[in-house]
Chain A
Amino acid sequence: MLELRGVRVVYGPGAPPALDDVTLQVGAGECVAIVGPSGGGKTTLLRSINGSVPIVAGTIRVDGVDISTLRGGALRRMRTQLAVIAQQHDLVDRLLVYQNVMAGALGRWSTLRALRFLIAPTSAEIAEAREALGGVGIAEKLRERTSDLSGGQQQRVAIARALVQKPTAILADEPIASVDPQLGEQIVALLCSVARSRNIALICSLHQPDVARRNFDRVVALDGGRIA
């Protein structure tokens, strides 16, 4: 499903490699945690899989397609397969919850449909948002303003948005760094649960090895850009 071979990333001439000879395979429905110190290359790894960071050596294949060869529209279409959940959930807080959730569908919608949705969403679209929110346990927040939700609820909205994207993989970059430990464990468990139940590959960077061990199928340590 997701296959990295000998991936190397360098951020500038003379700089030490941010990723060096990284090889990793993640299957559908498999949950892999990437742990390691800050600056160890976790975020770079996720960004390179998403095509946001160019690689200088190796290959990254998603369902057999080498993403380093993709540009423009082809890269944009590939990104619809790779949902990203960031540390600060990165929602548009002025939008309503269901609008943020359905933003996950923007990659498969035409621009006209996206604009129409903002003005007059259909009942099917609202139902899809409700179902995604139900999957993360906050269906009742559907029509609330996103900025009115707590940090944990906003992180759940971000997961719901990722589900609406109908991805083959979710790339989660320290999704629990800004929530308390108990809530963090709940969010990680939820992420793993939805990934397994929907056969989505999950790669999640974390700072907490114990949380990783308890919830993930595999834990990979990354330090100095290399898999330890």
Chain B
Amino acid sequence: MSSAVFPPDLSPAYLRALTVPVAQTIGMAAAGMLVAFAAGIPLAVVIGTRAPGHRLLGTVLASLRAIPDLTLAILAVVLVGLGPGAGVAALALFYTAMIGRVYGSLFLAADAAPLEALRATGASRISLAAFGLIPLTLPDILTFGTFAFECAMRASIIVGAVGGGGIGTELIGALNALDYHRALTLVIVLVALVAGVDGLGMLVRRDPRLALILVPAAAIALWFDWPQIFAFRHALHTFAGMFPPQLRATQIASLPLLIAQTLLIALGGTLIGAVLAAPISLIAARGLAPLPVVLVVRRVLDVARSIPEIVFGLILVVSAGIGPLSGAIALGLHSAGVLGKLYAETFENVPAAPIASLAATGARPLAIAAFGFIPLALGPNVVHTLFRLEWNVRAATVVGLIGAGGIGQALFEAQQLFFYKEMLAYVLVTWGLVALSDWFGERLRIHMGWHFIAG
């Protein structure tokens, strides 16, 4: 097994050949996020200032966000055509919904007193956003923005896998050709790309003005990746062919099992991720562990986070076979990376004063963690975990692509066989399932009184 994968193909000719797909992937993520920020922030302001129609907008964004990125990518490829343009369209739509909804929630949770003072001056909604909402929530906006960019980079692999271009297309090609040496090279490139975005994110959090430098680069990428072979008549014809969505009686009968499999993969993946992340995050947080240990553990988490669930799934398929358990483990390994980072950052962001007070009693480091860091970070970390569970319901459909079972597998089988009516039916079931899990998660957070928003 290891000799089939190692060493990675690092030949100069192959690395040279990778420059175009790498540029396509970066461009796709950057262009998609440029559109997402440009469209998502105004939508978030509408929600955050409780403008007329904000509830309807929130529902629409939540609905859009409930369609997994891979599903959007398939629709985009069908409608826009093969290539990075489809990837940009899918990413832009998905992340506009995400930015709009999450930033909107952040704005709603902003400190009310300064906003009230601004409103009292007669400030417009735009002024309220510029002078109140955005400055008040800037650290969270930047943290989530860089996190979303990272996600977009990974998602560009997923959209690439169905013909969106970039290293995702290369990766699927390498795996289909059973060339695991090249597949490993591509995974390493992906890890490096996400680490690069992480580093960039750290710089932007330190000096938000740096984000402005990225705008022209993303605009250039958007120009190059604009859909080029888009044929409106063909798109319309294909879309019309999906209606009415329909399933045969036997397919309807098997739906409960498919839904249960999907939910189990998501729950199992989240549980595995949280159980792995909880202890790891304690040694990944500055202030809780020595800096050299933090740096090493963070890099390990970066690697786990950089590898999309579907790539973990493909690795597991090669080594452990297919099925829902492999799907849950794939989700769990990726989730451990994500949750480990988020938990650690929450520990780093807890107010310094109570921790200093505990230290002043002469408490030992673990006691300070137990009495200070953990209870202070509990609320945000539970919210991170609930968000991850919601995310994993989507991801559970994506790992269906590689035979993990559930709704996702049925959807991809329908798409592969060009049964577009069945495909749309499964898309709608997926949408309903994700929307329901989002709704349930939100109710739970409100019930618990934890309104923090995070990845």
Contact = CB atoms under 8 A, between A and B. Distances in A.
A90 B368 CA distance: 13
A55 interface: no
Interface stretch (B70-78, B89-97, B266-274, B369-377): B369-377
Contacts, number: 81
Interface stretch (B133-141, B149-157, B322-330, B358-366): B358-366
B364 A111 contact: yes
Interface in A162-198: 165
A86 interface: yes
B353 A115 contact: no
A151 to B, nearest CB: 14
Interface in B164-205: none
A11 to B, nearest CB: 17
A84 B360 contact: yes
Contacts of B354: 90-93
B357 A91 contact: yes
A104 B361 contact: yes
A108 B363 CA distance: 8
A118 interface: yes
B361 A165 contact: yes
Contacts of B366: 111, 114-115
A86 B378 contact: no
A99 interface: yes
A94 to B, nearest CB: 4
B360 A82 contact: yes
B379 interface: yes
A77 B362 CA distance: 6
A27 to B, nearest CB: 22
A205 interface: no
Contact of B363 (A83, A84, A88, A114): A114
A14 to B, nearest CB: 26
A90 B363 CA distance: 15
B257 interface: no
A86 B361 CA distance: 12
Contacts of B376: 92, 94
Given A107-B362, A111-B364, A111-B366, A90 B353 contact: yes
Contacts of B353: 86, 88, 90
Interface in A85-105: 86, 88, 90-95, 99, 103-105
B356 interface: yes
B372 A92 contact: yes
A99 B371 contact: yes
B367 interface: yes
A90 B359 CA distance: 11
Contacts of A84: 357, 360-361
Contact of A80 (B361, B370, B375): B361
B363 A107 contact: yes
Contacts of B367: 106, 109, 111, 114-115
Most buried by A among B367, B372, B378: B367
Given A77-B362, A80-B361, A111-B366, A103 B371 contact: yes
Interface in A44-78: 50, 52, 76-78
Contact of A90 (B357, B370, B378): B357
Contact of A106 (B358, B375, B378): B358
A107 B361 contact: yes
A50 B358 contact: no
B361 A106 contact: yes
B362 A79 contact: yes
B371 A95 contact: yes
A92 B376 CA distance: 7
Given A95-B375, A103-B371, A111-B367, A90 B356 contact: yes
Given A91-B357, A92-B354, A80 B362 contact: yes
Contact of B364 (A82, A88, A106): A106
Contacts of B372: 92
B364 to A, nearest CB: 5
A118 B379 CA distance: 17
Contacts of A90: 353-354, 356-357
A94 B362 contact: no
8 contacts: A78-B362, A79-B361, A84-B361, A94-B378, A104-B361, A107-B362, A110-B364, A111-B367
Interface of B: 353-354, 356-364, 366-368, 370-372, 375-376, 378-379
The 5 closest A-B pairs by CB, nearest first: A107-B362, A106-B363, A80-B362, A90-B357, A114-B367
Interface of A: 50, 52, 76-80, 82-84, 86, 88, 90-95, 99, 103-111, 114-115, 118, 158, 161, 165
Given A94-B375, A95-B375, A109-B367, 14 more contacts: A79-B362, A83-B360, A83-B361, A88-B353, A90-B356, A91-B357, A92-B354, A93-B354, A103-B361, A106-B362, A106-B363, A107-B361, A114-B363, A161-B361
